[in-house]
Structure 1
Amino acid sequence: MRLMAFDYGTKRIGIAVTDDLQIIATALDTIHPKDIWTFLENYLKTEQVETFVVGKPLRLDGTDSQSAQHVLGFMRKLRKTYPQIPIVEIDERFTSKMASAVIAQSGLKKSKRQDKALVDTISATIILQSYMNSKENLW
């Protein structure tokens, strides 16, 4: 079963998944928030997801950022729609900066480097990898 991570934003949601063995985190897609429920319904028809991992936007001092209320609303609906799939929150501070740095070093053309959707999917991948790393440290 896979893990699925979300970098939730009011304009775009970056999505990443693992392989079935939960070894590799891979960028999956970037979806407009209004399309996420149809996307998930279709995805979950063919793939099994063990856990949802949601990036939680925090300020430097650890308190919720302004966008946290949107993420909490998303998680409430996620929990209500898919009660059988647990949700884990991961601190997403600096993931967008890290994603931008990865893209900058990738050698992509400038137009592709400025693609905000690419930043969101890579941010989701970083969130998912952070969760996988934290799970490994528990073993």
Structure 2
Amino acid sequence: MARVLALDFGKVRTGIAVTDELQIIASGLTTVNTKELIPFLKNYISEENVECFVVGEPKQMDATASESEALIIPFLQKLSKAIPNVPVVRVDERFTSKMAFQSMIDGGMKKKQRKNKALVDEISATLILQSYLSSK
């Protein structure tokens, strides 16, 4: 089987999570500067077999698209041109940042560590990926 790679897309940086080859466990991989995201993904898929990209879909409480979606759509268009053979699946990402932050608190992380926004993004990507795996 191939891995599934999830993205918590952001204007500045993007959190990335990945499954194991059996698609059982979702783990944080890294956080990448968004400007370097497509080259990073191209390099990653040259080394690993990836079944699909799971990209968070930010929504408002009433299920309408959030303002962030305006940044994601152009990225998805670039991604499909750059890596056309890997499909993209969208997953509702409401509350993932808050859940990531809470999991950091629950895990006993110190306040200084919780201020690391890159880590919050990586954990958010992991939550998005776990949501995808649970829905399969």
TM-score after normalising by structure 2: 0.96
**1:91 maps to amino acid:** D
How do residues 41-120 of structure 1 correspond to structure 2 at under 5 angstroms?
Answer: 41-120=42-121
Q: Percent identity among equivalent residues?
A: 53
The code of the aligned residue for 1:19 comes to D
Q: Counterpart of 1:33 in structure 2: which amino acid?
A: T
Q: Counterpart of 1:22 in 2: which secondary structure?
A: coil
Q: Distance in 2 between matches of 1:6 and 1:125?
A: 8
Work out the CA distance in 1 between the residues paired with 2:12 and 2:131.
Answer: 23
Match of 2:3 in 1: 2
The runs of 5 or more residues in structure 1 that have no matched partner are: none
Unpaired segments of 5 or more residues in structure 2?
none
Measured against aligned partners, the alpha-carbon deviations of 1:67-100 in whole angstroms (never above 9, x if no partner) come to 1011111111111111111110000000000000
User: Is it true that 1:12 corresponds to 2:24 in the alignment?
Assistant: no
TM-score by length of structure 1 reads: 0.94
1:124 aligned counterpart, secondary structure: helix
CA-atom RMSD in angstroms: 0.8
Alignment deviations for residues 101-136 of structure 1 (CA, whole Å, 9 cap, x no partner): 00111112211111101100000000000000000x
Partner Cα distance (1:13, 1:35) in 2:
10
